[in-house]
Chain A
């Protein structure tokens, strides 16, 4: 069998590739959500008092908030008291370096195609591997530290760089921002921290790979990226989870701070378990991602390929505070079977001559619902702000839905805001045309969908782009027939 044949075979025979789980001895918090659990997590992580207080404040705030219901998604109420808020693989002693990390944990990542071995790894990417509630390994730390770049787990950053965490934690996504952000602030267990000093261009892609393994456990992690003046970093995020019948909650927070002339590029390939064909199981992905272009001429660019999760609720946003700052959002969101996605962005123009660009490509198949929700806000002082939004929807079949909810709010008459939207169906004609040239239907769909999403896929780093293309084809497997 040729290699292509094998690939085709793989594509047609497997559903969700990362649906396996492993049994490891875990250190877990008992189920339930209360102040005691928060103290338990904080003490487990040997946190300073100020952080515990911050968590407790967040918990109190969260208790006064109601779960949002405005999103165009439907799911049964989540019993937050039934979840466990901390689960970590037991390690006899804390590994000091990669060589001391339990080989079993390394093997989990090997199986996901993520090598944590620096020698084997392509030189271009450093990884922070987050398994359930903790970071299990971070590669290339030493190489990066020579440039003054800090790249480590959030827990380690709390211990090693408390002044930075204290300064930036919650500065972009405040505790009271929304229900899930408040919950995350109370119970977050780990995540990644990245600091790029002034004038440094990070020589490799930094990435976090999130893996949920444990059952009945929520994953709540935080990512904090600080890019000082005139620095540059490209950050990647990948996620997978085992196939389980019950739904699992993932409520993350990502904060990005960009000083003057700094540029941060954040790319996500989200492939959480989407639930089975009947809509059973899958991850609830309720994530708050926001960046602030604090300094003049700074730039933050979000690129996301969303193929997984049963329910997605996610709006990576940019606050364009610095004059001449730029915010970008490129998104491909694919839903199949019973998946629901309500995703988009917010571009808040505060500074003068700020620019934002939104390119959203939704693809719906099966019985799924796919919504784009975006807000463009131009504040009074934002002279000559420019926004361009393009929201396209592609429908496959007759049982799915595509929705667009654009909100535009302009307080300055010099603003230029453009919004374009299209809805199309994958035509029988297009598929027949491909068939007539010898291309099988599944491959024709992959070709057409990748063409449709090309503008977004082009934004991804090379290695990720190839992965994302395969993922798109896999997600839409069997949706035309």
Chain B
């Protein structure tokens, strides 16, 4: 589904990603972990098409298409969804209105008829139950005055509504208490299907107790330096990142 080859990216001339290789197949959950500043969020942003990042090398194929050639909105319409680490506030625009605009533009791109109000609302009802979100929240201005947990829940709700092929969760666990974490993870798990894939970007292992990954990758200094099963995450939790850093640094020194 997603194939990243030798991806290099920089921001304002500073290289952040230095040769990422990653293969994600349908039905899989990949976790990307790593110490602060390793490039985790950059990877998520580059895949979504944030302009500040300049891709200097490499390619990303998403369902047979050159992802990097597409505009951010077309990537979304092709089925890439990013759950933001810091969801953005849009005053005066309700989540409902926002999602209706989004969904209908996606449907138009795919040659589908726009959903009428009745169908849209019934879809909303169905998805609301999935992430245990209150309708009142959805008629308020998007993310404005939402608590940290509400914002993240709203991200997952949007994900449920837009039914992406590939979901990228950027530090979705940050700022969540244990109940919110459970609700958000439940939502993500319920949305999993054999035809969709998820990339979970996280600093902590905690989230992976709820969203169980098929593969865990460790990102350090802009490269994936280690990949393994979910046990790797547990190991990181116990030992921290230092041993990986040392491994990499030693390898560099001997090279």
The interface of chain A, by Cβ under 8 A from chain B, is: 2, 4-5, 427-430, 432-441, 443, 447-448, 450-455
A441 to chain B, nearest CB (A): 7
In the complex, whether B90 has a CB less than 8 A from a CB of chain A is yes
A460 to chain B, nearest CB (A): 15
In the complex, whether B88 has a CB less than 8 A from a CB of chain A is yes
Q: How far, in whole Å, are A420 and B50 apart by their CA atoms in the complex?
A: 34
Among candidates A428, A435, A448, A455, residue contacting B90 with C-beta atoms closer than 8 Å: A448
Is there an interface contact between B76 and A450, defined as CB atoms closer than 8 Å?
Answer: no
Q: How far, in whole Å, are A428 and B49 apart by their CA atoms in the complex?
A: 13
Is there an interface contact between A452 and B73, defined as CB atoms closer than 8 Å?
Answer: no
In the complex, whether B104 has a CB less than 8 A from a CB of chain A is yes
Among candidates B51, B84, B101, B113, residue contacting A439 with C-beta atoms closer than 8 Å: B101
Is there an interface contact between A430 and B101, defined as CB atoms closer than 8 Å?
Answer: no
**Interface 0/1 of B216-236, CB less than 8 Å to A:** 000000000000000000000
Is there an interface contact between A452 and B92, defined as CB atoms closer than 8 Å?
Answer: yes
Q: Which B residues are CB-close (under 8 A) to A4?
A: 104, 108, 114
Is there an interface contact between A436 and B92, defined as CB atoms closer than 8 Å?
Answer: no
23 A-B pairs within 8 Å (CB atoms) are namely A2-B108, A427-B88, A430-B88, A430-B89, A430-B90, A432-B88, A434-B102, A435-B76, A436-B72, A437-B98, A437-B99, A437-B158, A438-B77, A438-B103, A439-B73, A439-B101, A447-B90, A447-B98, A448-B90, A450-B92, A450-B93, A451-B93, A455-B92
A-B residue pair count with CB separations less than 8 angstroms? 82
**Interface 0/1 of B68-112, CB less than 8 Å to A:** 000111011100011010011111110001110111111011000
Q: Which B residues are CB-close (under 8 A) to A437?
A: 76, 98-99, 102, 158, 162
Q: Which A residues are CB-close (under 8 A) to B84?
A: 433, 436
Closest chain A residue, CB of each to CB of B91: A451
In the complex, whether B141 has a CB less than 8 A from a CB of chain A is yes
Is there an interface contact between B73 and A433, defined as CB atoms closer than 8 Å?
Answer: no
Among candidates A432, A447, A455, residue contacting B93 with C-beta atoms closer than 8 Å: A447
Also in contact, A447 and B101, with CB within 8 A (given A452-B91, A453-B92): yes
Is there an interface contact between B73 and A440, defined as CB atoms closer than 8 Å?
Answer: yes
Closest chain A residue, CB of each to CB of B83: A436
A144 to chain B, nearest CB (A): 35
In the complex, whether B48 has a CB less than 8 A from a CB of chain A is yes
Most buried by A among B75, B97, B102: B102
Q: How far, in whole Å, are A454 and B91 apart by their CA atoms in the complex?
A: 9
Q: How far, in whole Å, are A5 and B112 apart by their CA atoms in the complex?
A: 12
Q: Which B residues are CB-close (under 8 A) to A447?
A: 90, 93, 97-98, 101
Q: Which B residues are CB-close (under 8 A) to A455?
A: 92
Is there an interface contact between B141 and A451, defined as CB atoms closer than 8 Å?
Answer: yes
Q: How far, in whole Å, are A7 and B84 apart by their CA atoms in the complex?
A: 31
Closest chain B residue, CB of each to CB of A3: B114
Q: Which A residues are CB-close (under 8 A) to B97?
A: 447
Also in contact, A451 and B101, with CB within 8 A (given A432-B72, A435-B71): no
Q: Which B residues are CB-close (under 8 A) to A2?
A: 108, 113-114
Q: Which B residues are CB-close (under 8 A) to A436?
A: 48-49, 72-73, 75-76, 81-82, 84
Most buried by B among A430, A433, A450: A433
Is there an interface contact between A438 and B93, defined as CB atoms closer than 8 Å?
Answer: no
A130 to chain B, nearest CB (A): 34
B231 to chain A, nearest CB (A): 33
